[in-house]
Every structure is written in structure tokens, then in C-alpha cells.
Amino acid sequence: MKPAESSLAELVQFLATTQLFEGLPLEDIEALAAIAVQKMYRKGEILFWEGDRGIGFFVLIRGRVKVFKQSAEGKEQILGIFATGEHFAEVPAFDGQAFPASSATLEQTHVLFFPRVAFFQLMQDRPTLAMNLLSVFARKLRRFSRAIESLSLKEVPQRLAAYLLYLNESSGDRATMELDITKGQLAAFLGTIPETLSRVFARLVAEGAIAIDGSTITLLNRDRLIALAEGRVKLKS
């Protein structure tokens, strides 16, 4: 069953809480809601393929999507996973170039699509929009730089420890949390293979840093994970 579409009033209320548009005047939010197109997707559906023309960007109402690259041999590298309230694909929509990666849903998903032409017209009419976006993009560039550093300079145990700490923070610092993606998807996101990831998980369990029960992970030694993520210690062989 597809999720029901939101009313205009519900869209205004939702957009006012998103990272991209939070803090904007109400009249700007209402103008944005008026140009947004609601789209529904089943689990596993493609939103766009790498090379498709960037004609707009997306904000997630509910559900989750991945943005990924795929090699000619079929190997997948997940570049990002986005959930409720987050935005993605805005850069190609802004520069008019093709999407540099592909995107697919991880579960039933409800998104808002903002067409490039209509959005650009709004920014010309409402300068507060453009100023807000500059700030958001600067923060996103910082996060992307940290992600590149993690993939290129850190070993898999460091990457996994950093991800578990991020998941812990996102769950309100609860010690026990649910792994929000499959281990295969997590391996692709961390730039490794499932077999290597499983070995690192097993070593973290053996050292008493975490406990695992299915998809449920409990942090037993947060300080150890922090030291590992920062590269101050290494996992025992």
C-alpha cells in the first residue's frame, strides 16, 4: 500500500522542520510547498540513474534512500544514506549537469521533488532562500570532506567505530540501538566487503566493545570505540 499524500498545510509544517529550510519565513515555506511534487516509491525502486539529467532535487518525507556508484563489474559503493527530513541530489540540480551517481529506495518511501526551474525562480524572487542554502551547502561540504578522509585514510575498524558512534548519537545516545541498514549495505557504505566487515564486528565483540543480537547493537565500551575511531588504538589481532 502506498503512503497517502500530505496536504499543503502538512507540507508547510514538515518543510519548516527540515535541515534545508528550517528558519525560513513562513511565506517562503508556503511558496516552497506550492512547487513541491510528491512522489511515492516502493522498496528497491530507482529514483534516478547516474548520467540522468539533474532536473531537480529531493527531500524525504519518510522512508530511506541510498545514493551509490556502481562499477562495470557490478560492485556497489554507497556514498550516502538519507532518511526523513534530509535532502539529496541538489548539486546536479543546481549546476544543471547530470547526476554523478544513482539513487534507490531502501524501503517504501515518500519524497518531495523540487523542479529545478521552479526552484530557481523562487530563489530569484526570495533572496533569503539563497542565503540559507549557502549555509547548508557549506555544512554538507564539511561532512563530505570528512567522509572522503574516512574512506581514503582510515582502516575499516576505524570507519566502523565512527559509524557506530554516529548511530549512537542519532539514537539519542542510547547504548542499545538498531542497525538501520543491512550489513551488506553497511559494507558498501564503508568501502569494504561483507566478509571483512563481519570479521571486524567479531573482533569488536571479542574485545568487549560491543554486543550484537541480530540487528541490535549494544555499545559496551564507548571510550574504546572513540579511541578506535580517532586512530589512537587498534583492534587486537
Positive/negative CA dihedral, 134, 140, 146, 208: positive
pLDDT under 50: residue ranges of the chain:
1
The answer to whether residues 165 and 134 belong to one domain is no
The answer to whether residues 67 and 122 belong to one domain is yes
In a domain, 145, yes or no: no
Containing structural domain, residue 22: 8-138
In a domain, 21, yes or no: yes
The answer to whether residues 100 and 209 belong to one domain is no
The whole-angstrom separation of Cα 223 and Cα 210 is 11
Cut 0.85: pTM above it: no
The answer to whether residues 29 and 132 belong to one domain is yes
The answer to whether residues 66 and 125 belong to one domain is yes
Of 111, 138, 165, which residue constitutes the final position of a domain? Answer: 138
Of 138, 171, 192, which residue constitutes the final position of a domain? Answer: 138
Torsion angle of the four alpha carbons 149, 51, 133, 130, in this order, in degrees rounded to the nearest 10: 150
Of 110, 138, 166, which residue constitutes the final position of a domain? Answer: 138
The answer to whether residues 226 and 188 belong to one domain is yes
- CATH number, domain of 217, equals 1.10.10.10
In a domain, 209, yes or no: yes
User: Quick one: pLDDT at residue 210?
Assistant: 94
The answer to whether residues 54 and 99 belong to one domain is yes
The answer to whether residues 15 and 121 belong to one domain is yes
What is the enclosing helix (H) or strand (E) of 123? helix 116-125
Q: What pLDDT digit, counting tens, does each position of 8-26 carry?
A: 899 999 999 987 888 788 9
The answer to whether residues 21 and 101 belong to one domain is yes
The whole-angstrom separation of Cα 210 and Cα 204 is 6
The answer to whether residues 106 and 158 belong to one domain is no
Q: What pLDDT digit, counting tens, does each position of 68-88 carry?
A: 998 878 788 888 889 899 889
The answer to whether residues 125 and 12 belong to one domain is yes
Residue 89: how many other CB atoms lie within 10 Å: 25
- CATH number, domain of 134, equals 2.60.120.10
In a domain, 143, yes or no: no
Q: How many domains does the chain have?
A: 2
User: Quick one: pLDDT at residue 1?
Assistant: 41
Closest Cα partner for 35 from 66, 10, 8? 8
Q: At what angle do helices 127-153 and 156-170 cross, to 10 degrees?
A: 140
User: Quick one: pLDDT at residue 187?
Assistant: 87
Residue 110: how many other CB atoms lie within 10 Å: 19
In a domain, 17, yes or no: yes
The answer to whether residues 82 and 30 belong to one domain is yes
